[in-house]
Every structure is written in C-alpha cells, then in structure tokens.
Structure 1
Amino acid sequence: MLSDDHNETFMCIICFESPEDRRMCRFCSKFICASCLDLVLVHDPKCPHCRAEVTREDFTKVLWLPDHLKEVDNQVKLGIANKCSEHERQELSIFCQTCAVRICAHCLLSVFHGKHVDHGYCSSEDAYAKTVNELREHINNVRHAVEKGQEEVKKNKRSLNTILQYRNQRRDKFNKMHVLMHMKIDNETEKYLAKIADWSFMVHPNYSNDRHRHVLSVFLKLNSGMPEPIEYTYAIELVRYSGNASNYTVQGTGQFQPGWKNGWKSFYSVEDLASKGFLCPNEDKIKFIFKLRPTTIFEYRKVLEWHLNQMEDKRKHDEHAIARLEQEKKCLERTASEQRSKIEKIERRESELKESLASQRKDREIIAGQSCELKAVKRENESLKRKLSNIAAAQKRHRPEDRRDEAQRYKKAHD
C-alpha cells in the first residue's frame, strides 16, 4: 500500500482521485485518468498542468505492482487454460471439428480412453487460421456494410436536409398565412363589431376649458349595444398629411356601456396641427382613424353571445310575424277563392248574356234585312205606280179629243 503522501503525488490532477487507468505526461510526469484525459483533449489539446501542446500518445500508460500481479495472474490462468483438464500436462494442440472444442492428443486415442475417438479434427493452428480468416471475412463484410450504411446515412442526411429545408419553407409559409389570417380576422372583427354596435366618434376643441392652452379632445361613445359593461381596447390615430414622420396614435382601454364614452380631454394641441403636418392644406381639415376591439377573447365572446341572443330573439319575432302573415295569407287566399268563384259565376252569366245578345243581334239583323227588303219592294211599287200614272197620262194625251182640246187651247192662247 502507498502512503498518503504517495497517494497525493500519484492522484489524478483533474478529479483528485486515485486513477485506475493511469496516464503520465511525458513533459511534466503528472498523472491523469484516461477518462479525464479524453475530456481535456476534446476541449483543449494541452496538458492541464504544464500547458504543453500534447496528443493522447504523449501520455504513457503506467502499471504499478498490483497491476503487474494482475497481469501475471492472467498469464498463469492463460497457461492453465492451455492444458487439458483430463490428461495432465498435455497441451490443447488439436481442435475437434465435431465438438468444436480444443483437445489434446490423448483425447483422440482409445488407449487413453479419449472421448473424441473417430471425430473429425485438425491442428489448433489450422483451426485458428481458419477462424481468423472467417473473422476477417466477417469483418470485411461488416466493413462493407458499415460503408454502405455510411452512404445510406449520407443519403439520409441529404434527404433530411431537403426535408428540413422544405419544412422551413412550409413553416415560413404557414407563419405568413397565420399572420395574414390573424390580420384578416382582426379586420373582420372590427367590421363585425361596428355592425353589431353603434359607435360615435366625437371631437371637441378645448373640451377642458383651458384658457392657457387650446387642445383637441376626442371621445368614443357607445350609442347602442350590450347593456352590461364590456372592456375594450381602442386606438385613435391622427393622420399626418405632410412630413416623413408616422401618424400620431394613442391607445387606451376602458369599459363601455350604452351611453358611456371614453377618450382623452387633452389629445393634441391645436396650435401644432398645421406645423406638424396634420392639417390638410387644400381642404383645411384633419382626419382621424379609430380602431377598437374587446380586451380579451372572453369579452369578445360575451359580445358575440349577446348579439346571438339578440339575433335569436329577432328570429323568433320574425317567425311569429311570418306565422301571422301566413294566417292572413290563408284568409286572403280563402277570400280570393270565394271572390274567384263569384267572378267565375259572373263570367258565366256574362257569357250567357253575351250569347243571348248575340242571338238577339242576329234576329235584329234578320229583321233589319227584311225591313230593307220591304222598303225596296215599296220603292219598286211606288216606281211602278209612277210609271203606270205616267203611262196613263201619256195615253190621255194621245187621244183625239185631247188633241183637239189642246189645239183649241193653243189657238186661244195665241189669239
């Protein structure tokens, strides 16, 4: 056994323990464990004591007396292992191929009552050489398999790099889509909130009645909406018309209820509007943009639930109105059917009257035709009567007595 001073001298300079696998630096002769040496050389290829640049070969393995005794014991055991256990002092120089064990020469002879008589055998050197060749062949196969595996690993690494690159691209694309989706949802939320609630934006010059300083006061007022107080996050932005600076934006939070308003009494100085570029030079006006939304998703959920309840009540009211209108429609349809039946009766009566009028009109036409024929016959009779009277008158003029009377009248007239 070594003394304490020797233990301190020969302990590891890293872990300060008695090393089992000892290594000694050839520059400073200090001891270090093999495991500690591996850790040191990975981070810094220098001796931890003398700081000389070293490699693993610069540290020599050191064996003490106990180590030498262990080595001797191992050699003795190895020598005993090379002797036959059944036949003393006989070396195991033959290899039984049938039993796959090492045996001595007496084990093959029946004289010595050997157990391996008539077995296949060969010398230990040949069996060793054969085993070595098989192991070398196996090692070569393993080496080829390792090389093939390394090639597969390289190929898999390239595939993995491609997959990682594709994954990063998809992740970036997904992140962009996620941001765009959030922006779209925020815009839709603002539009939807503007629809389900009536908001007013109020601007007052010098609302605080400050005589020394004229400022703009801006407020947001909820005219109609959820009756319970809801906390909103709102932002009012004053648009800048000229200059490179951004717009003037103020954010705040507050509870809103129908009739309540929140804002700032001193939002911006009136004197600085023109100098800071917030006043439109052409139209002499200022422009505001306001945005608001519930502070948390729970507040937004309350607003949506209230709006859904309002929509449900409106739907029920509309359903009742539709049912009432359907009843009125049925009554009107019954009335219309009755009126339609009356109209059909009137139309049938009218058609009958039209038929009778048509028949009467035909009769009148027949009568009118007959009267016309009668008038024509009367005219013909009258014309015949006139002709007969003329004929009679002519006959009277052509009688001798009449001629003599006419001659006498003529003579008297000329005398």
Structure 2
Amino acid sequence: MDEQSVESIAEVFRCFICMEKLRDARLCPHCSKLCCFSCIRRWLTEQRAQCPHCRAPLQLRELVNCRWAEEVTQQLDTLQLCSLTKHEDNDKDKCDNHHEKLSVFCWTCKKCICHQCALWGGMHGGHTFKPLVEIYEQHVTKVKDEVAKLRRRLMELISLVQEVRHILDKLSSANTMSLNREGEQMRGNVEAVRGAKDERVREIRNAVEMMIARLDNQLKNKLITLMGQKTSLTQETELLESLLQEVEHQLHSCSKSELISKSPEILLMFQQVHRKPMQSFVTTPVPPDFTSELVPAYDSSTFVLVNFSTLRQRADPVYSPPLQISGLCWRLKVYPDGNGVVRGNYLSVFLELSAGLPETSKYEYRVEMVHQASSDPTKNIIREFASDFEVGECWGYNRFFRLDLLASEGYLNMQTDTYQVRSPTFFQKCRDQYWYISQLESAQSGYIQQINNLKERLAIELFRRQTSRSSSPPEMRLASGPTTSERDLRSVKSDDDIQTTLTNAKKVEEEERTQHDDSNELSDGDLEVDCLTEEEVNPLDGSSTSGSSTATSNTEENDIDEETMSGENDVDFIGNLETEEGELPDDLAGAT
C-alpha cells in the first residue's frame, strides 16, 4: 500500500471536531461520523444538543463507543512508519549526483558509484571498476571471518570466567547456603502473598458468576412475564380476527333472510366479546431495571427554586434542604446568576458534602434540571461525574446552563433541580454506614455514662439526707411527719445502682414505725423518679450534652468544567453550642 493510500485512510479516522487523531472514539448514530469523546461532550454540554456534522438532535448517552477505532489508528501509524522507513532505505543506495542505484565499485577511488558516473561522469576516466555485489560479498566474508575469531575468543574468556566462578563458589559456599535459605524464605513469602491474592480473585470471580446468574434469572422472569402478556394479547387478537372473518363471510355469503335469522346470534357473539373489559388487556409494564449487587442505587432529592428572577437579582448562592444518607449530609448549592467569571451568563450548580467521614472519599453524583414545558424526560439537562469529596468541599459545574436559554427552552417555569448521590461500591457504602453506627454508639455510651453518674450522685445525696434525718430528735421527726421521707424516697427510681441506699432507708423507716405507730409504710413500688429533668438527662436523639468547641469548616467549590476551573472558596462558619455539666441542685431529691 503506497503512502497516499495510507494517508487517505488515516484522514477517515480523524476527529471531525479537532481534526486530530481519535482519542476514546465515539460515533454519531445518525451520520456515522467519528469524533473524540471529550470533543463531542464539550460540544453537547456547552453549545447545542445536536451533532455538529449532521445537525441531528443528539444526547450524550446516544453516542456509540467505538473501541475498535484505537486498534485501526495504531495499525495506520505502523503502516505510515513502515512506508517511511522503506523510503529512507531506498534513498540510502542512490547516487547523490544522478539519483541512480549504486551498482559499480571504483577500485581506484575505493568508492561506490552508479553506472552513469562510471561511463559519462568524467571523474573516473581510466579507473578500474568492479561489480558492487562482488566487492560487497568480499567485505561480508572478511567481516564474518573476524566475527568467528571474536566468537572463539569469547568462548575462551567464558571458560576462564567459569573457572574463576567455580573457585568463588567454593570460597563462598557457606554464604551461598545462607543466602539460599533466605531466598527460599523470600520465595515462600512471595508465593504465600500470590496465593492469598489468587484466593481473593477466585472468591471475586465466584461472586461475580453468581451475580450474573441471578441477573440472568431476573431477565428470564421478566421475559416470561412479557411473553405471557404477549401470548394473552395474541390469543385475543386471533379470536377477534377469526370472529371478524366469520362475520364478513356471513355478510357476503348469506341471503337477506338468512342474515336476518342469524343476526341475533351474531349480535350475541359481539356482546360476549364486549363483556370482557378492555382494562383486563392493559398489561403492567415490566420495569427494565435490574438489581445491582456491586453498585448501589442513587439516593436523590428534588430542589425547587421559587422566584428565580428575584434570586438571580440577589446574586447570592441558594442552598437546598440537606439530604441525609448513611450519616452523610449533602446539599445542593446553586448560583442563580452564575459564579465567578461566568456570572450573568451561566447557571452554576455545585454539590456540597456538609458532614461525613474525615478522610477524602470518592462519590458519584448526578445533577438533573427538569424540563418544565413538557413531561419528556429526554429533554432534561443531566450532568454526572465522580469526584473526591472532603467535608465542606463542593464539586460541580460553573457552566451548567446558559441563563438566556432557560426561558426560551422551557426550563424556567418553577426551576427544578434533581440531584442524586451514591457510593461507587457497596463496600464504600457499608464503610460509611459503619462509621455512622460507630458515631451513634459512641454518643449512646456517653449518654449512659452521664445517666449512671447522675444516679450515683442522686443516691449519695439521698443517703446524706436520710442520715441527717435519722440523727435528729424523735419530736422533730414527728413534727416533720413522714411526708418528707416519703417524698424523698418517691423521688428515686428503684434500681440496682441505688439498692444500698434503699436498704438504709428501709431500716430508718422500720425504726420510725417501732417508735411511732402512726408512721406510714413505704414500699419499693412507690419509688418514682421526679427529679431528673431534661436538662440533666437527654434522650438519645443524636445531640450530645458534652462540651464541644466551636468548629469552623471551609467550603471549597471545585468546577469540573474543562474550560473554566473555579478557584473560589466559599467559607461557611458553623458554630456548635458549648454545654457544661453543672452541679447537682440541692432540691434534686424532691425535698421541700
């Protein structure tokens, strides 16, 4: 194949947008033109949702991935390189003066010349000439003889080296044995690591095969359902067609009297057909979704921007309500009038991780702007990507959509954004949930410890009051009456932590009943907790009463737009209230 043919084929496999070699080739389903994925993605997201070549409506998901194009371009590069090398080799054996093939050797000048130089050149008159091939064979023979001598010399040197190596092996045999043992241990360790890796690979392959089998089973069930619906409709259609054919035959073949006599029978058949309602033939659509055991489904939320024109005049970012997912908190950050260099021209949309794991993690997200003029989901503007998020960090799009096209293309009637977030794998989602559960368990342990501390302090305070009352004179105890004792004891819940205090209280009451018959009896069932307030014991609602310092979080916006990277940092200050545990009040036991 000549150079021009290779070049013409290479032109076919060039991107019609950047006119360079294809990179991650995609094919337009309408005109079959090839282009780079990055070029067509930039065109569809920033210009128009149509093919730049044939102007047909085109969405990013409709592009055909041409994996074979890369192999073709590599083969074309190889052909071009081979043709160039062959051309250079042909130029080497040509005369510089006449551009003819070198075929004569001038023995006098010791130079290779062409036949024109030997005959008509004038520079080699009277010289001795010999065929170039003969001289070439002589030189090749001489070179081969010298190569043979060098090989014999090399073999002698190799034998000497082997002798020296044999001596060295004898001298270092002990060291070699030690090194061999260490090498065997190292090889054993390497084999163990490889074996463990292979075991994990086998487990993964087995799991994937089982997942594929379950997907095939789901597909089989869906196909069975669809085939059943199709069979039912087909049977009913065939029945109606046969009935219509029979009626048509009766209309054309029967006489008037016969038709009149058969008319009630025909009408009865029609009534029987109409008795079966059409709703019974309406089939339930089979969803085309399949459950993935590797990638979790998106968690989504909808954010409606009301009074978009007013929000645009303010030029401040608007935040959506938080979306809580496995302990992670997400929210959408929208600039109605654009952000940074695109202010006034583009709608800017970012996704912010408000709370989550302390380390950086990758998450997949998708932002969708709903088309308000129609209910066609294919007209929705969808942007999806995967980014590494830290707490307080934003990722999104500076150039999400042009502001001047919002109203004209039907997106401005109650501006609506749907944003979806998911972990790349179930492993990462389980890790997020494990972290969230650990946080809840830690908070619960803190609350239980606070409750136990309060119970201990309450028991000590109650025991001190009982001791002081027992040491007072009988007349004073009668004057105070049993009401105070009952109220103090009823303010405490019967619990294992204060069993000792209750025993002491019972002993005091038995002494009082012995000395005074009018004392009231006490029972464990009368003990109630009236002194623990909500300020001292909080329910496990996710808030902590322990002291915490004021936290400041920096919010960074990262624009994945290839043309304009947003470097603006939006700093939000989030303050946490600081709560300190106070002393137990004197009236905690319920004494009056």
TM-score normalized by the length of structure 2: 0.26
Which structure has more helix as a fraction of its residues? 1
Greater radius of gyration (CA): 1
- Higher RCO, Cα 8 Å, sep 6+: 2
